[in-house]
Amino acid sequence: MSTSRNLDEVLARYFRDYLSRNQAAMTLKRRLDELGIGLAPLAHHLAIRTDHIDRRAEEFLQ
C-alpha cells in the first residue's frame, strides 16, 4: 500500500471521528456539500496547518 493511500485512509478516519463528535462541523460539511465544494478542501487545509484540530478549534471557541 502506498504512503499516499495510507495517509488518505488516516485522514478519512480522522475526519469521520471529528464529524461524529462535532455538530457544527457536521453542519458545515452539509452546507459545503450542498454547494458542491465538500469538506475535503477545507479539512485538508486545516489538517496541514495543525496537528490536532480539536485543540486548534478551542482557540476560536473561547
Spatial separation of the C-alpha atoms in residues 21 and 15, rounded to whole Å: 10
What is the overall mean pLDDT for the chain?
84
Alpha helices in the chain (DSSP H): 3-21, 23-34, 40-49, 53-61
- Confidence at residue 1, expressed as pLDDT on a 0 to 100 scale: 54
- Work out the pLDDT band at 36, boundaries 50, 70, 90: very high
pLDDT tens digits, 6-35: 888 887 898 899 899 999 999 999 999 999
Spatial separation of the C-alpha atoms in residues 18 and 20, rounded to whole Å: 5
For residue 35, the 8-state DSSP code is T
**pTM over 0.85, yes/no:** no
What is the residue type of 60?
A: F
For residue 51, the 8-state DSSP code is S
- Confidence at residue 20, expressed as pLDDT on a 0 to 100 scale: 95
